[in-house]
Amino acid sequence: MPTTGPDSASRALAELARCLDHTLLKAGASAAQILKLCQEARHWGFASVCVPPSFVPLAVAELAGFSVAVGTVIGFPLGYQTTASKVFEAEQAVAAGAVELDMVINLGQALDGGLDQVEAEILAVVAASGAATVKVIIECCYLTDELKGILAEGVVRSGAGYVKTSTGFGSGGATLDDVRLLAGRVQGQIGIKAAGGIRDLATCRAFLAAGATRIGTSNGVAIMAELLRGAAL
């Protein structure tokens, strides 16, 4: 016999939806696919859509009047653009209406020990982003645990809103151990976004339990449908 009623099921759906960034960043993404992404985000009440920079105006127009945020990416996916380029990207994205920006750090610089430069770049992008929320992708799959923690603390100091595990384009995606490590270092001062390989409800729930506060996934609709099926049982 079900132990939850319609109201609690609706709450569970809404709570999970507000943790999901509905994402489409494939090279061949089309305008029709972006429109579909936005329509799905409206239907489910996702926290945001994350779209390529060129599609920000389309997503902003499609989501006008809805509570779904429009996000995009900066220095994506490799992060080795100049700081000036990333700052320009951020300014352009905000001018087009984006309110969430997922930026990739200069990974080579971080691995070479240039942590002051990495932090200075994050600060510059945050400054250029105005009121928009910046999520800093540190691409954990290439880092030692020590470096992950140091970078996470730098993200806190920078004034960014989130530290993010992965682009989804690297050699590995999010791991529960990485999320736990980041949660221990940021201590609730900023959010943690897990992304890369999160494709089902059980995995999504595991990352949220580990300390993630936002999930980036291209499988948001399937995850919500899975939760809806479970609530109906």
Identify the active-site residue in 102, 135, 148, 178. 102
pTM (two decimals) = 0.95
Query: pLDDT, tens digit, for every residue of 144-174?
Result: 999 999 999 999 999 999 999 999 999 999 9
Residue 178 annotated as catalytic: no
Note whether 12 and 227 are within 8 A (CB). yes
68/97 Cα distance (integer angstroms): 12
The CATH number of the domain holding residue 71 is 3.20.20.70
Task: Report percent pLDDT > 70 for the chain.
Answer: 97
What is residue 127's predicted lDDT score, i.e. its pLDDT? Answer: 98
What is residue 177's predicted lDDT score, i.e. its pLDDT? Answer: 98
Q: Give how many domains the chain has, as a whole number.
A: 1
| 1: in domain | no
Residue 193 annotated as catalytic: yes
- Expressed as residue numbers, the domain containing 87 is 6-232
188: left (phi over 0), alpha (psi -120 to 50) or beta: left
| 77: in domain | yes
Identify the active-site residue in 135, 148, 164, 178. 164
Instruction: Provide DSSP, 154-198.
Output: HHHHHT-SEEE---SSSS----HHHHHHHHHHHTTSSEEEEESS-
Residue 86 annotated as catalytic: no
Q: Kindly report the number of other CB atoms within 10 A of residue 41's CB atom.
A: 28
Note whether 189 and 162 are within 8 A (CB). no
Average pLDDT score over residue span 15-44: 98
Q: Strands (DSSP E) along the chain, which ranges?
A: 20-23, 48-50, 69-74, 100-104, 133-137, 162-164, 191-195, 214-217
Identify the active-site residue in 86, 135, 148, 193. 193
| 20: in domain | yes
